[in-house]
Structure 1
C-alpha cells in the first residue's frame, strides 16, 4: 500500500511539474508573440535593429583571424589562442559535427550574437553514417559462418568489422571539413563559451526554479502526511522518540525524524533510485557580477587595481593591464553610464584595451565617479552629497588624479632614484601617454587639458583620440530637444528631490540584470525593448539591449548619472557652446571662473599643444557627426594638429562592437607617437584672459 501511494504521489508531482512548466512556457511564448506583433507595426524598426546583428558582447577566447594590425605585433598568448582556435576547428570537428549520437542536439541561441545562432548541420554526414551502418550489417551476416566455424569471440569480431567499415581518420576528418563550414563549427564553440561565462539566471529561469521548489515542498509534506497515516505505529514511535530526545539531540534523529526531507520515491533493494538532494533558495539569485578584473584575468592577461583619491575625497578605481617596462602608455576613459568594462567587453581580439597591450602599451583604464556604491573617503557621506558634481569634476578632479597617479607609477618604474631628482627640473618624461576617450570621456579629457594649460600645470599627454566626443549638442534630434527643454524647465523643482538618475535598490538592479538575459533569450521581447530604447535616444541604432547585458550592470553596483551632469549637458545644448558648468548666478560663477559666465572651452582650443584625432559615427544620433565637426572646425581655426574621420557607426559601436577597421585606425594613430622622441610643446600663453562686466581683464582661478 505504501508503495502504491508513493507511486501515485510521484506521478502526481511530475504531472503538476510538467503542467506548470508548460504553462509558464506558453505564457512566455504569448508575451514573445505579442511583442512580435507590436514590433511589426512600429515604424523605423528596420534601421534601429540594423545595428543589433553580429555583436559579441561577452568575452570570448577566439578570433576568426588576427587583424592586419596585429599580424606582426600580437602577444605570444594571443598567438597561442589564435592557433588553438584554428587547430580546434580541424581536429575537433568530429565532436561538434552532426554525424553521431548527438546530431539532434540544438543549442538555444541568444538574440544579439550571431555566434550563438546555430542550426542543424547538413544531412550529408547522416547519410555517411547510414552507409557505414549498412556496411557493418552486411559484414556481420557475411562473416557470421566464419565466426561460428573458427570460434572467434564476439568482441574481437565486432572490433574487426568496425575497423573494416570505418574510413581512415585523416580522410574522415577531411570529409568533415569539406562538409561543415568552419564558421558554423566555431559558432557552436562560441555558444558553449558564452553560456559558460554568463553566470546569471533570467527571470523566466528563476520562475521555473521557484515553481519547482514550491511543488517539491508541497508534495514532500503530502508524502510525509501519507506516511504518517499509513504507518500510525511508526508515527507514534517516532513522535515519542522525538519528544524524548529533544534537547541536545533534538536535531539528530538518525535520519528518521520529521525534520528530515523524505525522498518522493520509496527506496528498496529491488528498485535502487538515486537519492534526490533537497533544493533550497540558498544562493539561488544568480546574477552576473563579474568585474573588469574578472574578464581580464579570465582571458589570461595581467591585471592591477589602483585606488585613486581625488582632491575632493572621491575614491576612484584605476585599472591596469601592466607592462611595467613599457615607455608607451595608453589611457582609456569611458563615457556616460559606462565603466572600464566597455574597453574589454569584446574579448581577446576585438577590445581596444587588449589590442593596445598586444602592441606593447602599458594600458590604464580610468573610471569616473558615479557608482551606486558611492566610494568616498567619508564612509558616512549621504547620497545627496555624493552626487553633487557636474562634468567639471570629471575634468578637473577625476582625470587629474588618475593622470598624476599614472605619472607617479611610471616614474617609479622607469627611473632610478637619481633620475627622480632630475625630474623636478626637467620637463621631459621617460614615457609617452596617449588618451583614447569615448563620448563624455572625450569632453572630460578636453576640459582636463585646457584647465591644466590655464593653471600652468603639465597635462603629460602626447596625443588625444576622441571617439564621438561630447561637448557640442545643439544639433540633435527632436526627442533630445524636447527632453532638454522640459529638463531645464523643471530642474529647479527636481534638484532638491533627485540627486541622480540611478537604480537605488539591490532588488531592481538584480531584476534588470536578469531581464537582460531574458531579452537575449526572447528575440521579439528583446527587439521590442531595443526599439523603444532607440526611440528614447533619437533613433540611434546602438545595441542598447546588449549593453544592458554587460555584467557591470549588476545588483551590487551600477553606474549612475548625477543630476548636475545631466543639467550640464542640457546647458551646453541650450547655449550651443562647449562650456563649463553654470552655477546659476554671476556671483557663483565669479568665485569659480573669475567671470560672471562659465568658461567657454571652445574659445580656449588654441591652448591645446598636442595632436588630436576626432572620430564620428554617421549613424550616431546621440552625438551627431556635425557636432564632432564643430570640434574639428574650432581646433582647425586655432591651428591645432587635428584630424577628422567618420565611420558607419552608432554611438555605442565605438566601444561595444567588434570593428576591425576602428581598431586599425586607433592603433595607427597611437603608433604616430614615438616614445623615444622628445615632446615639443608649442610656445603659447598659459593664462587665459577674459573680460568681466566692467571691461577689465581677469584670469581664471
Structure 2
C-alpha cells in the first residue's frame, strides 16, 4: 500500500511540475514572440543592432534558454540542488562546456565531480543516496514550523540511514581534500568559469521557486501519508522521540550540520562572488585579482568630504604612470571588463605602466566623512566638483604615492612644483571624464597650481553638445524648465533599494536568454539616446550594476549638461543668478572653458566615434578646432564606433592607437602661458587675452 501511495504521489508531483513548467514556458515564449513582432516593425533597428557583440539579438520565437539541469528532460529539485552544490567546486567550470570536453583527465578526481558526470548520463534514480539524504534534511528544516503545527514528530522525518551516511560524507570530504593538489591543473577551466555569466535571471528564479514549492508541498503530503498508513511505526517513533527529546533533537541538528559541512568547505575553496540570489556582485578587485594581476585600493578624501576609492594595478618601480577616468553612470570596472586581451588597464600594465583607476563621486552607497549626510546633501554637486574636487584629490594622491615609492622629488612635493617630478603621468578619459579632466587642467593652470599631467587621451569627451538628436533637445528644454521645481525633491537619478537593483541585474540575464526581448529593450534604449548602437543592454550585465552598489547621476550633473547644450559652449555650472555666479566665478556668467584652452600646456589626443550619437564627432572636432586655434598640441582621430564601444567593447584597433599615444609621452614643446597671477574671480577676460 505504501509503495502504491508513493507511486501515485510521485506521478502526481511530476504531472503538476510538467503543467506549471509548460505554462510558464508558454508565457515566456509569448512574451518573446510579441517582442519579436514589435522588433520587426520598429524603424531603424538594423543600424542599432548591427554592432552588438557577445549575445544574440535576432528576433525569434524561440523559447527561453533553460538551465542545464532541465535540458535532459529531468525537472527535479533534487537534481538541481545536486548540480548547484557541485557548482561550488572549481572543477564545475566544465559543467557548461560541451560533452566532448568532459573527459576524465580534465576533471579533478573528487567524488563530487564524478557523481556530477554520472548524473548527466544516467537516470535520476541512480543519484548518490547521500545527496538525497542531504536534501531531505534541508527540506525537514524548511518545513519545521509546519511539522510543529501538525504535531508530527521531527524524528520521524529523519532517514534511518542518516548515521550510516556520516562515514560516507566524511570520506567524500577527506577525498576531496586529498585531491586538492590536482586543482591547480584546472586553472584554465577555472578562468573559463569566471568569464561565464553564472547568474540566474527572473525566469530561472521562477522555475526554481516553483520547483521548491511543489517539492515542499508533496514532501509534506508524503510524510502525512506515511504517518497515516503506518500508525504503529508512527506511534513507536513518537514515543521514542518524546522519551529522548533533547538527545534526539541534538542528534538531528548535528546530523544536519554535519551533512552540510562538505558543501561549506567546498564553497570556501571557490570564493565566487555570487550571492545566494545568484546576482553578479563582483568588484573591480575581483576581476583584476582573478586574472592574476596585482591590486591595491587607496582611500581618497576630497576637500569637501567625499570618500573616493582610487584603485590601482601597481608597478611600484615604474616611472610611467597612467590614470584612467570613467564617464557617466560608470566606474573603474569599465576599464577592466573586457578581460586581459581587450582592456586598456591591463594593456597599459603590460606595457610597463603603473595603472591607477579613478572613481568619481556618485554611488548609491554615499560614502562621505559625514556618516549622517542626507541624500539631498550628498548629491548636491555638478561636473564642476568632478573637475575641481575629485580629480585633484586623486591625482595628488598619485603624486604622493609615486614620490614616496621612487624615493625622490620630496623637495618638489613640499614646494608644490611639478617641474621635476620623478614620473610621467598620462590620463585616458571617456565621455564625462574627458570634460572633468579638462576642467581640472584649466582651473589648475589658472590658479597656478601644477596639474602633474604629461598627456591627455580623451575618448569621445563631453563638453560641447549643441549638435545632437531631437530626443536630447527635448530633454534639454525639459530639464531647464522643470529644474527649479524638481531640484529640491529629486536630488539624483539612481535606484535606491537593493531589491530593484537586484531585479535589474537579473533582468540583464533574461535579456540575454530571450533574444527578441533583449533586442527590443536594446532598440528602445537606443531611441532614448538618439539611436546610438552601443550595447546598452549588455552593459547592464557589467558587475558594477549590482544589488549592493550602483552608479547614479546627480540632478545637477544632468542640469549642467543641459546648460552646456543650451549655451552651445563648454561652460562651468550656472548657479541660476548673477549674484551666485559672481560669488563663485567673479563674473555674472559662468566660466567659458573653451576660451581658456590656451592654458593647456600638454599634448591632447581627441578620439571620436562615427557611430556615436551621444557625443557626435562634430562636437569632438569642436574641441580640436578650439585647441588648435589656441596653440595646443592636439591630434584628432575617428573610428567606426558607438559611444560605449570605447570602453565596453573589445576593439583592437582603438586599443593599439591608445597605447601608441601613451608611448609618445615626453617633454612638451608647448610654450607655457600665463606668467601673471591669474585667478578665477574677476579675471576671465584678462586670462583669455594673455
CA deviation string 1:362-397 (max 9, x = no partner): 000000000011111111111111101000000000
Deviation at 1:684, TM superposition (A): 2.8
**Match for 1:405 among 397, 411, 429?**
397
Matches within 5 A, 1:416-495: 416=408, 427-495=419-487
Matches within 5 A, 1:502-517: 502-517=494-509
Maintained 8 Å contact 1:468/1:616 = yes
Deviation at 1:245, TM superposition (A): 4.9
Deviation at 1:10, TM superposition (A): 1.8
Deviation at 1:15, TM superposition (A): 2.4
Segments of structure 1 that go 5 or more residues without pairing to the other structure are 57-91, 103-188, 261-281
Matches within 5 A, 1:19-418: 19-53=19-53, 193=192, 197-243=196-242, 245-246=244-245, 248-249=246-247, 251-252=249-250, 284-416=276-408
User: Alpha carbons of 1:403 and 1:255: their partners in 2 closer, same or farther (altered >3 Å)?
Assistant: closer
Deviation at 1:585, TM superposition (A): 0.9
Partner of 2:617: 625
Maintained 8 Å contact 2:603/2:633 = yes
Secondary structure of the structure 1 residue equivalent to 2:297: strand
CA deviation string 1:172-225 (max 9, x = no partner): xxxxxxxxxxxxxxxxx9999267642321111111111100001100110111
Secondary structure of the structure 1 residue equivalent to 2:510: helix
Secondary structure of the structure 2 residue equivalent to 1:251: helix
**Match for 2:674 among 684, 687, 694?**
684
Deviation at 1:539, TM superposition (A): 0.3
Q: 2: distance between equivalents of 1:389 and 1:608?
A: 25
CA deviation string 1:154-183 (max 9, x = no partner): xxxxxxxxxxxxxxxxxxxxxxxxxxxxxx
Deviation at 1:26, TM superposition (A): 2.0
Greater displacement, 3-12 / 451-460: 3-12
Greater displacement, 392-401 / 8-17: 8-17
Q: 2: distance between equivalents of 1:346 and 1:99?
A: 25
Q: CA RMSD in A?
A: 3.1
**Match for 1:556 among 535, 541, 548?**
548
Secondary structure of the structure 1 residue equivalent to 2:51: helix
Q: 2: distance between equivalents of 1:669 and 1:213?
A: 56
User: Alpha carbons of 1:307 and 1:17: their partners in 2 closer, same or farther (altered >3 Å)?
Assistant: same
Matches within 5 A, 1:490-501: 490-501=482-493
Secondary structure of the structure 2 residue equivalent to 1:474: coil
Secondary structure of the structure 2 residue equivalent to 1:461: coil
User: Alpha carbons of 1:689 and 1:552: their partners in 2 closer, same or farther (altered >3 Å)?
Assistant: closer
Q: Which has the larger radius of gyration?
A: 1
Secondary structure of the structure 1 residue equivalent to 2:589: coil
Secondary structure of the structure 1 residue equivalent to 2:309: strand
Please, what TM-score do these two structures have when normalized by structure 2? 0.75
Q: Which protein is richer in helix relative to its size?
A: 2
Segments of structure 2 that go 5 or more residues without pairing to the other structure are 57-93, 105-187, 258-273
Maintained 8 Å contact 2:633/2:670 = no
User: Alpha carbons of 1:192 and 1:403: their partners in 2 closer, same or farther (altered >3 Å)?
Assistant: closer
CA deviation string 1:71-92 (max 9, x = no partner): xxxxxxxxxxxxxxxxxxxxx9
Partner of 1:63: none
CA deviation string 1:469-496 (max 9, x = no partner): 0000011100000111112111111111
User: Alpha carbons of 1:326 and 1:616: their partners in 2 closer, same or farther (altered >3 Å)?
Assistant: same
Q: 2: distance between equivalents of 1:697 and 1:684?
A: 10
Q: 2: distance between equivalents of 1:398 and 1:331?
A: 13
Maintained 8 Å contact 1:335/1:441 = yes
Q: 1: distance between equivalents of 2:509 and 2:615?
A: 28
Partner of 2:177: none
Maintained 8 Å contact 1:690/1:697 = no
Q: 1: distance between equivalents of 2:194 and 2:611?
A: 31
Q: 2: distance between equivalents of 1:691 and 1:427?
A: 26
User: Alpha carbons of 1:638 and 1:379: their partners in 2 closer, same or farther (altered >3 Å)?
Assistant: same
Secondary structure of the structure 1 residue equivalent to 2:425: strand
Q: 2: distance between equivalents of 1:254 and 1:485?
A: 68
Q: 2: distance between equivalents of 1:594 and 1:250?
A: 81
